Amino acid sequence: MVDLAILRSRFHGELLTAADGARFDAGRAAFNAMFDRRPAVIARATSAADVMAAVDFAREHRVPFAVRGGGHSVAGYSTIEGGFLLDLAPMKGVRVDAAGRRVRAQAGLTWGELDRQTQAFGLATTGGRVTSTGIAGFILGSGSGWLERLHGLACDNLLSAELVTADGRLITASADENAELFWALKGGGGNFGVVTEFELALHPVGPMVLGGMLLFARADAAPVCRAYRDLLRDAPPEWGGGIAFLVAPPAPFVPEALRLQPAVGIIVAWFADHARGQALLGDLRRVVAPAADGVQPMPYCALQSLVDAGNPPGRRNYWRSDNLHALDDGAIDTIIACANRATSPFSNIILQPGGHAVAAVPDDATPLGGRTAPWQVHCYGSWESGDDADHIAWVKHTERALAPWSAGHVSLNFVSDADGSRVRAAFGEAKFRRLSALKRVWDPDNLFRFNQNIVPAPN
């Protein structure tokens, strides 16, 4: 049992153990129900000083240590068995500088919470597609969202970060201060410290955007996907969204005959003149008439919550993703075949277009590779009960089937299990060596190892 007396003298937030019953169970619950872990203690930080105390305690007592923001880590890094869980959720401070188009946001915020604050000023930055996603792990792991073709990934909008290092210091990293560390934070994950506050660039967005979903029967998937691919060849950066292979929801806008049946959806996220967006969609609607059409003007925050209902916490999840170097007819046919083999009605495959602002960032500007890939594919196995093996096997089969089109270097945020070889491959050899050398400088004992871990380079 961890002796908490020393920590209690310095830590002003709440400390939870199993003796706290329901509050402890709520604090340890993860988005991905595959990880039902029981920490020895959950320390709910209220300030940077609390984080400093927690890091000092974990380092001095050699306690296994994990950090939780929103709890959305599909790989289970948001909880820990028998160790010390530092929960940043109480840290929800926000300061919007509307004139300067930037925001300072504490690490416990979710994207829904941050979007509501910035939208009060008609501003936004690239954020998560599920509002309960925490901002911290999302930004540090890359940050893919509907705005990325127009304004880049979340990490591309990072201006500075306040973080607690492995030796317990509170420092700032930016382009002008600790610049090499700042580079590592823009996609290198939580390997280098506990970020307590992010400074992010904001952009005029909304308040009303054109969003929603066009829904088609699964039998129409091939012509719909080909038409969408062709549309995206020349689509401007204001065009976000993607293709989703899913089971049609029992929503009012869905015809009764299609509800709970295999379908393909075109998710629309358009950030310019609504009439122009509808004109672009007209080409798509003429190829195959959608069975349901939910595209309409809506608040940006409503767009951001569009897929919340299909991604509740508490299901079992196993994910794999990849960049694609092409989306030819063979790739489309393979994706459709894999989607038709899905083992759960909650599982889905997402095709997401790249390009524009994502590809415009120089390859060496962040740890991320694969920026020029025109498409990403995400295979999300999600189920409530039963044999995990069947669902995991479907995800792995899909990954293997799409290997001929793989461009590699996908963000590790979208991967359920990332061993050393997968981490190395995600960054590429040169960037991995650079990150490993930085890890040796900032965390030589690998205190921050419960993540997509980058092992410190040997001396």
pLDDT tens digits for range 324-363: 999 999 999 999 999 999 999 999 999 999 999 999 999 9
Instruction: State whether the Cα torsion 121-126-129-133 is positive or negative.
Output: negative
Q: Both 201 and 213 in a single domain? A: no
Sheet with 84-87, side-by-side order of all strands: 14-16, 41-44, 84-87, 65-68
The residue-averaged pLDDT of 378-403 equals 95
- 448 domain residue, yes or no: no
> CATH code at 15?
3.30.43.10
Q: What CA–CA distance (Å, rounded) separates 338 from 319?
A: 14
Q: Give pLDDT, residue 387.
A: 87
Q: Both 128 and 260 in a single domain? A: no
Q: What CA–CA distance (Å, rounded) separates 333 from 339?
A: 10
Q: Give pLDDT, residue 294.
A: 93
Q: What CA–CA distance (Å, rounded) separates 404 from 426?
A: 17
DSSP tally for the chain: helices H, then strands E: 15, 19
Q: Both 61 and 110 in a single domain? A: no
Taking 60 as the threshold, does the pLDDT of residue 173 lie above it? Answer: yes
Q: Please tell me what DSSP assigns to residue 17.
A: -
Residue type, 224: V
Report which of 159, 129, 132, 162 is spatially closest to residue 144, judged by C-alpha positions. Answer: 129
Q: Both 199 and 228 in a single domain? A: no
The DSSP result for 350-391, as a single string, is EEEE--THHHHS-GGGSS---TT-SEEEEEEEEESSS-HHHH
The 10s digit of each residue's pLDDT in 105-117 is 999 999 999 999 9
Distance of CA 230 to the CA centre of its chain: 27
Q: Give pLDDT, residue 45.
A: 98
Q: Both 198 and 147 in a single domain? A: yes
Q: What CA–CA distance (Å, rounded) separates 68 from 30?
A: 9
Q: Both 289 and 260 in a single domain? A: yes
Q: Please tell me what DSSP assigns to residue 20.
A: G
Residue type, 200: L
Residue 182, domain extent: 94-205
Q: Where does the pLDDT of residue 182 fall: very low under 50, low under 70, confident under 90, or very high at 90 and above?
A: very high
- 22 domain residue, yes or no: yes
Taking 90 as the threshold, does the pLDDT of residue 459 lie above it? Answer: no
The model's pTM is 0.96
Q: Which residues is 375 bridged to in the sheet? A: 324, 353
What's the chain's average pLDDT? 95
Q: Where does the pLDDT of residue 4 fall: very low under 50, low under 70, confident under 90, or very high at 90 and above?
A: confident
Q: Both 229 and 167 in a single domain? A: no
Q: Both 389 and 341 in a single domain? A: yes
Q: What CA–CA distance (Å, rounded) separates 440 from 442?
A: 6
Tokens representing 298?
């809506």
Q: Both 59 and 132 in a single domain? A: no
> CATH code at 106?
3.30.465.10
The 10s digit of each residue's pLDDT in 218-252 is 999 999 999 999 999 999 999 999 999 999 999 88
What lies within 8 Å, CB to CB, of 181 at 6+ separation is 173, 192, 438, 442
Q: What CA–CA distance (Å, rounded) separates 250 from 426?
A: 38
> CATH code at 243?
3.40.462.20
Q: Please tell me what DSSP assigns to residue 215.
A: E
Tokens representing 206?
């909304």
Q: Both 218 and 367 in a single domain? A: yes
- 375 domain residue, yes or no: yes
Report which of 222, 78, 201 is spatially closest to residue 150, judged by C-alpha positions. Answer: 201
Q: Count structural domains, the chain.
A: 3
Q: Both 299 and 367 in a single domain? A: yes
Taking 60 as the threshold, does the pLDDT of residue 290 lie above it? Answer: yes
Report which of 248, 239, 242 is spatially closest to residue 219, judged by C-alpha positions. Answer: 248
Q: Both 289 and 361 in a single domain? A: yes
Q: Give pLDDT, residue 34.
A: 95
Task: Find out whether 427 and 435 touch, Cβ atoms under 8 Å.
Answer: yes
